[in-house]
Structure formats: C-alpha cells, structure tokens
Chains A and B, each alone.
Chain A
C-alpha cells in the first residue's frame, strides 16, 4: 500500500506530521459532506493541491497552525481546520477553507495529519486514510505536487499582482510562505 511522507518539524520534535497525496479522487463530495457534518473520523486537513506550490509551502502552513496552537491562538476549532485556514493569507476563515480546502469537484487531494505528542496511534495513518479517500496514493514529492499546481489559482487565491512572477517555484514559495507567516499582521 502506497504511503505518504512523515516528518518532524525541527521546532516541534514531538509532533509527527503526516502528508499524503492522492490523485483520481472520486469521493471528494462525500468527504466534504462528512467534514461539514463534523464526523471525527475525518479529522485531517484536506487541501486542494491546485493551490499548493511545494512541500515547503505545506510546511509553512503546518508551522503557522502549530505555533498558533501552542500560543493558544487558534482561530478555528481543530488543528486540522487550522492547517487549512493557515494556507490562506486573510483572516476570513470561511473564505480560506473554501479556497484551499476540499471542494466537491476536487479530483486530487493533499492530506495532512499532525499527531501531537499526546497522541497514541494504533493504526497506520495511511491505512486509515486509504479507507477514507477513494483515489490513488502517489509519493509526496515536490515534482508530484508541482504537477498538480494551477499557478493561476495560486495567483487568484493569494491575490498576487500580475507584476510578481510565480515562474520560479522557490521564489513563489518564498512569497507565499511570507504571506502565511504574516496572515493577520500585514
């Protein structure tokens, strides 16, 4: 069974960050429905990869959500929803969840799960996700993420002016990671 990426952020060594990437997803609307009805089995951050530039981009959002959680300053109810919200550059929660989260028409998904220090995991996160997501799990690499990015969606969602080029992914990640870090402060 294909699995995703598990890593630890240097500043949060006790928390395991699991990242999965799925293509040919067929049940996006079902997942979204379950999320909206608050089904706790679905406590993952489901992100639409069209707005994602790179792994560093994902980690910037995870980092923001984790530091906000540590500081007691989360704006949404769960860490998972906070991670999706963290992708956005604005304080408008509903808007960010809509833009960056799973949509009914999402045919690919980037999924993040953070197991904080207190969590005891009995099943593999990939097994659990495999049951929830009807799609093909592919390796979580920058190349695979890049293939799913829609640069115009990124530009629109982050309101980046036409003058700033997004052609260089490294530069673009820099721009967006800064916007994520400064959300609510700019």
Chain B
C-alpha cells in the first residue's frame, strides 16, 4: 500500500483504483466503479444514472502533508477540497463543460467526479499537426495552414468560448494549460467529399482541475488566466502558437456574455489588461 493511500479508510483502498496522475497537491485515481452506485445497477436496470458510466470515475485525493503543521494541513485540505467541489458543482449548474461532480469528503480530502475519456488539447493538436504534415507534406505551407484553419481553428474557437463562459461567471481557473483542457467526442466536422481528414470529429472541450480556481470579478485576474494559457501554447506548440492563441481569443471574445452590451465592455477591459500583462510578463525587460 503506498504511503499516501494508507491514510484512507480501508474501504476506499479496497476499491479498484489506479493512480493516473500526481501533482504537488493531489493524486488522481481512476475507478471503474461509482462510489455509491453498484456496477450491477449502472447502465442496466438503472436508467437514470449520473453521467456516462462506461467512462469510469475519478477520485481526486489530497493526502495529508506531513511537513505541514497538522491543524493547518487539515484545514487547508478541507478548504481546498471544498472549494474545488463547490466550483465544479456551480459550473455544472451554469451549463459549463466540466466533469460532473459526484461526491466530496472534505475531511479526507476526496472528490469523486466523472472521468472524461479523451485526450488533452495538447495531445489533440499534436496529433492533428502530425496528420496534416503527413498528408499534405507535398502541398507546402499554404496547404497545411489552410488545413489547420479548417481543422484546428473551430476547436480552438469553442475552447475560447468555454473559457469565456467561465470568466463571465467571475470564476478564474488558476491553471489554464493545454493539459487541463480535455476533449470528449462531439459533433462531426466537414461534409462528405472533403479530404482524407473528413471523418474528423470536432470534440467538445471540457475544462478540468479547478484545484486553484477562485472567484474574481477583476479583469486583471481573467487576463492573467488567459496569459497563462497563452504561455502554455507557446511552450507546447511553439511553431503555430501565434495562430492558436489568436483563435482561442477570437472564440473568447465572441463567446463572452454571448454578445450582450455590458459583456462587450467587460471583455474589452479584459483584453486591455491582457496586453498589459503581456508587457509585464517574465523575462521582459522594462528598459525602453
């Protein structure tokens, strides 16, 4: 039994859990079983199940940190766990694409949520870029860039739009990277008769990992959120990040508040702040 799991009740440890990711703060486990709906009922007799049962479930666990003072650690774990759970639930109520919240145990630092079967945005873009390069290596740069426009842009527009919904609710993610944007299967892209990539689905973006999320009305905080994503693109997709960021922001501006008047003002404020944040950034010299 790994040292972290040993602090959990034996019943939880007995579940079929597979560690799939580990951060500084929490461990993410996959479970094929729902925490309180027995598998005999899921998808069979029970017609009103929560989420998509075949994708499984995620247990996010914040283990106690022995290097912290006990009382403080307990309080931090409880607070952060609850904060994340609350945000997940509220975003779901507001219709934002996030994993379904299932259950929480703040004392133990556990959150149960639906698992999203799908690659991250990072992996998806890499895969599409590879495909485009392989299939159109003869056509040169123009052909490839057209393909990117056709295939990648629509997805990034919808990513921008989803983030805009989040910000419109005065919630900032806190760690927006292309690894925290997962894609689950969505509608089909392209008509029949298109090129070899015609069968491609435009997946639905799902925002995950609200462990660092907070409520904020400040345009500055939202701009920083966007800037973090921009830096993530530059880091993981250096060649075309300019285009990609432009498309995400285009989707963001278009999707913010769905074009209502007050929203247009707000989003302009955020964009202005984003310019300012870019100037500040890391390794930026303020020397004229």
B40 lies within 8 A of chain A by Cβ: yes
Instruction: For A180, give the chain B residue with the smallest CB separation.
Output: B103
Given contacts A56-B50, A170-B50, A182 and B86 within 8 Å (CB-CB)? yes
A67 lies within 8 A of chain B by Cβ: yes
Q: Please tell me if the beta carbons of B93 and A10 are within 8 angstroms of each other in the complex.
A: no
A35 lies within 8 A of chain B by Cβ: no
Q: Please tell me if the beta carbons of B36 and A13 are within 8 angstroms of each other in the complex.
A: no
Number of chain B interface residues as a range: 35 or more
Nearest chain A CB to B225 CB, angstrom units? 24
Nearest chain A CB to B188 CB, angstrom units? 24
A10 interface neighbour in B15, B48, B82, B86, Cβ under 8 Å: B15
Instruction: For B15, give the chain A residue with the smallest CB separation.
Output: A10
A36 lies within 8 A of chain B by Cβ: no
Tell me how many residues of A have a C-beta within 8 Å of chain B.
Answer: 38
B132 lies within 8 A of chain A by Cβ: no
Given contacts A59-B36, A174-B51, A11 and B12 within 8 Å (CB-CB)? yes
If over half of B's interface residues share one DSSP class (helix, strand or loop), that class is named, otherwise mixed; here it is loop
Q: Please tell me if the beta carbons of A9 and B89 are within 8 angstroms of each other in the complex.
A: no
Give Cα A6–Cα B89 distance, bound, in whole angstroms.
30
Nearest chain B CB to A20 CB, angstrom units? 16
Nearest chain B CB to A92 CB, angstrom units? 20
Q: Please tell me if the beta carbons of A141 and B50 are within 8 angstroms of each other in the complex.
A: no
Q: Please tell me if the beta carbons of B85 and A59 are within 8 angstroms of each other in the complex.
A: no
Q: Please tell me if the beta carbons of A11 and B36 are within 8 angstroms of each other in the complex.
A: yes
Q: Please tell me if the beta carbons of A181 and B104 are within 8 angstroms of each other in the complex.
A: yes
Q: Which residues of chain B are within 8 angstroms of A142 by Cβ–Cβ distance?
A: 45-48
Give Cα A59–Cα B104 distance, bound, in whole angstroms.
14
Nearest chain A CB to B29 CB, angstrom units? 13
Instruction: For B81, give the chain A residue with the smallest CB separation.
Output: A185
A62 lies within 8 A of chain B by Cβ: yes
B75-104 interface (Cβ within 8 A of A): 82, 85-86, 89, 92-93, 100-104
A-B residue pairs in contact (CB < 8 Å), sample of 13: A8-B38, A9-B37, A10-B33, A10-B34, A54-B46, A59-B36, A64-B103, A71-B108, A170-B48, A181-B85, A185-B82, A185-B85, A185-B104
- What 9 A-B pairs come out closest when comparing CB atoms? A63-B36, A54-B48, A169-B48, A10-B33, A178-B89, A181-B103, A9-B36, A59-B36, A142-B47
Beyond A8-B38, A55-B37, A56-B48, list 19 extra A-B contacts (CB 8 Å): A10-B34, A10-B37, A11-B15, A11-B36, A12-B11, A13-B11, A13-B14, A14-B11, A53-B48, A71-B108, A142-B47, A142-B48, A170-B49, A178-B93, A181-B104, A182-B85, A182-B104, A185-B82, A185-B106
